[in-house]
């Protein structure tokens, strides 16, 4: 079986330039509008989060993630216990779990280049 030749523009692929940065305020991704101020909003939200561990070296982040993982499991077990005793008294524990998850998310993002 013989494969067809590559498209004509394939030969010039090395000379392609990146597309221009969009200047419009609304950008669509998968038919959902994304606003240009989205990144600014995310940065503002990130500064309001209380991080449990500051971002450090790679080894420090791995140790912090391990500690947070253990803490997350422990808090989840406590949440299950609270829900068994009184299902309406879960707000504080859910907020603790949310804080741990956001700190883990922040540390995981520190591994990105």
What average pLDDT values come out for the chain (113 residues) when binned by 10 residues? 79 70 65 60 58 76 91 96 91 91 85 73
Is the separation of the CB atoms in 110 and 46 below 8 Å? no
Which pLDDT value is given to residue 3? 87
Rounded to whole angstroms, what are the CA distances from 80 to 63, 70, 83?
Answer: 26, 16, 5
Entry pTM: 0.56
Query: What pLDDT, on the 0 to 100 scale, is given for residue 79?
Result: 95
Query: What pLDDT is recorded for position 109?
Result: 82
CA distance 76 to 87: 14
């Amino acid at each position: 079986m013989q494969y067809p030749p590559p498209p004509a523009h394939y030969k010039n692929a090395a000379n392609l330039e990146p597309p221009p940065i969009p200047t419009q305020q609304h950008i669509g991704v998968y038919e959902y509008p994304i606003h240009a101020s989205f990144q600014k909003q995310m940065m503002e939200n990130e500064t309001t989060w209380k991080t449990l561990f500051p971002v450090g070296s790679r080894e420090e982040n791995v140790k912090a993630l391990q500690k947070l993982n253990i803490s997350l499991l422990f808090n989840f077990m406590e949440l299950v216990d609270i829900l068994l005793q009184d299902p309406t008294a879960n707000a504080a524990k859910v907020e603790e779990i949310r804080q741990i998850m956001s700190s883990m998310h922040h540390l995981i993002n520190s591994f990105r280049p």
